Amino acid sequence: MRKRLKRVWQGIRQLSGDDAYERYLQHHAAHHQHEGSAPLSKAEFFKRWQDRLWSGIKRCC
């Protein structure tokens, strides 16, 4: 039961983008570590993430 609740909570966080930075850090560690570049700060990442999310048609009637 607790495990299931935790998964629902994770789903909510992922849907809303609440954990986007954590996922970005994981992605960065997995794919871009060797390039030697430091990951973006949370504020900087969130700025880019939000601006990108809002290009194109995102909402309907």
Partner 1 sequence: MTHLAKTIIWILIAVLGASAVGGIALNRGESINALWFITAAVCVYSLAYRFYAAWIAARVLVVDETRATPAERLNNGHDFLPTNKWIVFGHHFAAIAGPGPLVGPTLAAQFGYLPGTLWLLFGAVLGGCVQDMVTLFLSTRRDAKSLGQMARDELGALGGSAALLATFAIMVILIAVLGLVVVNAMKHSPWATFTVAATIPIAMIVGVYMRHLRPGQVLEASALGVALLLLSVAGGGWLDDQPSLRGGFDHEGLTLAWWVMAYGFAAAILPVWLLLAPRDYLSTYMKLGTITLLAVAILFLMPEVKMPALTQFIDGTGPIFGGKLFPFVFITIACGAISGFHALISSGTTPKLLSNERDIRMIGYGGMLLESMVAMMAMIAATVLDPGVFFAINSAAGAVGADPATAVATISAWGYPVTVEQMQTLAQQMGEATLFARTGGAPSLAVGMASIFGSAFGDGLLAMWYHFAIMFEAIFILTTLDAGTRVGRFMLQDMLGNIWPKMGETSWTPSVIVSSAMVVSAWGYFLYIGVIDPNGGVNILWPLFGIANQMLAAIALSVATGILIKSDKLNKAWVTGLPLVWLIIITSTAAWEKLTSSDVRIGFFAAANDLSSKLAAGSLPVEKAKIAPQLIFNLHLDAYLTLFFVVLLWLIVLDMLRVAVRHVMGKPVLPLTETPHSPSLLEAEWVRD
Nearest residue to 21 (alpha-carbon basis) of 3, 39, 2? 39
* Binding interface with partner 1 (CB under 8 A): 11-18, 20-21, 24, 27, 31, 42-43, 45-47, 49-61
Closest distance of CB 57 from partner 1, Å: 5
Closest distance of CB 36 from partner 1, Å: 17
d(CA 8, CA 16): 12
Nearer to partner 1, 33 or 42 (CB): 42
d(CA 41, CA 19): 14
